[in-house]
């Protein structure tokens, strides 16, 4: 039998590997058709290796006129299975919105169609989703309902895609019912066999290692996060500078937390002693506010979010002496000019699909200053801490913060900076 397996953009896409193996073990051929969003969760190389067929995603495979025919797929298939099926794909199927290869294949399908939904519990329970499912059922589509359990959002409820073994059982039972066996001709009686010699006892087999189940994707898998960290140094002459006491510890704790959750992290840091061995972190070391602005504005367009944790100088000398300034006269007068505002620049660049997080280290009127900065710089939320709190701010291994969003204020007690980083990334994951 020939089976078309449709895969959509859901975290449950990794289960498609097990489903393919279930079909192939039964001797069926599998052709994968995947949406562009689906390729963000599982690679076509993996799927092609399991099916021994190229994965189909786009209408045109090359620029030489070669194209993938959804009509031919509809004629070739004995069944079409869409697992996982997102709420978006189910809606498009119900209303004939043929904007990708998977939907056009479904609309051309002559064979039975099976749908295994996967989504958050509120999306599953929504009236529009249920109406779309009823439309598909009325048109003969078999819905393999999701199970209840812990979802990608960490909520518990119905919406978890049914296990691949159960999906395969439903599909194969249907396919087998379409192939009634012809009655067998009666066999001629066999001659009695001579008794066999007794076999020697077999040596006991070594126990097999336990099978490791597939691990679910981490919440920031496929995401790219920009983080600024540490101070900036604004040169006065070859040996002196204007700077601050930032150690970079908070920024590096945020970077490591993002990497542990699966993100690729771009860290732009000023002069700090911090290092990291966490995989997935790329360091760009700078010195001045201007250099940090240039690096941040260059990297941000390719990122899903930015966390601006660096203590960037607000002013820099108008002129930098070529030689060391000697101690002469009654004093030294410096004329300073404002530096580039990184938060404002990224806030103005930010696309609707990007998120921007700022920090506010204050010494007085902390809450009002942080709220004003949140609005003025187009931030999604801001992390406020105060030098008036013991154990918070520069150089410490601990911090005490309040996360401020446009609608709420969430205070936290004094914690280690790694624990504070976890609280901040929890908030960012919810936004993404």
| Alpha-carbon gap, residue 313 to 339, rounded angstroms | 7
Residue (of 339, 387, 396) closest to 359 by Cα position: 387
| Alpha-carbon gap, residue 168 to 22, rounded angstroms | 6
How far lies 308's CA from each of 156, 252, 269, in Å? Answer: 33, 12, 11
Supply the residues annotated as catalytic: 244
| Alpha-carbon gap, residue 208 to 417, rounded angstroms | 43
| Alpha-carbon gap, residue 255 to 268, rounded angstroms | 10
Alpha helices in 70-207, H assignment, sequence order: 70-76, 87-95, 101-107, 121-125, 127-138, 164-177
Omega before residue 188 within 30° of 0, cis: no
Alpha helices in 58-100, H assignment, sequence order: 70-76, 87-95
Helix (H) or strand (E) holding 150: strand 147-150
Q: Rounded to the nearest 5°, which phi and psi values hold at 400?
A: -130, 115
């Amino acid at each position: 039998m020939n089976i078309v397996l449709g895969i959509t953009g859901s975290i449950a896409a990794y289960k498609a590997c097990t489903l393919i193996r279930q079909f192939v073990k039964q001797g069926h051929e599998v052709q994968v058709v995947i949406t562009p969003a689906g390729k963000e969760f599982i690679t076509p190389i993996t799927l092609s290796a399991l099916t021994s067929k190229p994965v189909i995603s786009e209408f045109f495979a090359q620029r030489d006129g070669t194209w993938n025919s959804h009509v031919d797929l509809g004629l070739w298939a004995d069944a079409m299975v869409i697992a996982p099926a997102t709420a978006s794909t189910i809606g498009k199927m119900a209303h004939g919105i043929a904007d990708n290869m998977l939907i056009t294949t479904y609309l051309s399908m002559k064979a039975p169609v099976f749908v295994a939904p996967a989504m958050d519990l509120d999306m599953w329970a929504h009236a529009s989703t249920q109406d779309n499912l009823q439309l598909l059922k009325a048109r003969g589509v078999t819905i393999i309902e999701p199970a209840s359990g812990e979802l990608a959002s960490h909520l518990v409820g119905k919406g978890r895609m049914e296990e691949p073994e159960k999906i395969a059982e439903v599909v194969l039972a249907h396919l087998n019912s379409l192939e009634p066996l012809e009655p067998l001709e009666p066999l001629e009686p066999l001659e009695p066999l001579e008794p066999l010699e007794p076999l020697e006892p077999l040596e006991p087999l070594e126990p097999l290692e336990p099978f490791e189940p597939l691990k679910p994707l981490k919440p920031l898998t496929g995401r790219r996060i920009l983080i600024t960290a540490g101070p900036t140094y604004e040169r006065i002459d070859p040996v002196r500078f204007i700077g601050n006491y930032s150690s970079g510890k908070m920024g590096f704790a945020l970077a490591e937390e993002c990497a542990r959750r699966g993100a690729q992290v771009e860290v732009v840091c000023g002069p700090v002693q911090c290092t990291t061995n966490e995989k997935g972190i790329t360091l760009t070391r700078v010195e001045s506010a201007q250099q940090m602005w240039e690096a941040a504005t260059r990297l941000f367009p390719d990122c899903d979010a930015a966390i601006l944790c660096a203590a960037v100088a607000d002013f820099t000398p108008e002129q930098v002496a070529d030689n060391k300034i000697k101690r002469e006269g009654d004093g030294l007068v410096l004329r300073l000019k404002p530096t580039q505002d990184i938060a404002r620049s990224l806030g103005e660049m930010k696309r609707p699909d990007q998120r921007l997080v700022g920090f506010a280290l204050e010494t007085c009127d902390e809450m009002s200053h942080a709220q004003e900065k949140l609005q003025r710089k187009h931030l999604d939320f801001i992390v406020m801490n105060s030098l008036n709190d013991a154990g918070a701010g520069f150089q410490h291994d601990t911090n005490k913060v309040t996360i401020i969003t446009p609608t709420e204020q969430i205070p936290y007690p004094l914690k280690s900076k790694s624990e504070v980083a976890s609280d901040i990334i929890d908030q960012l994951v919810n936004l993404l």
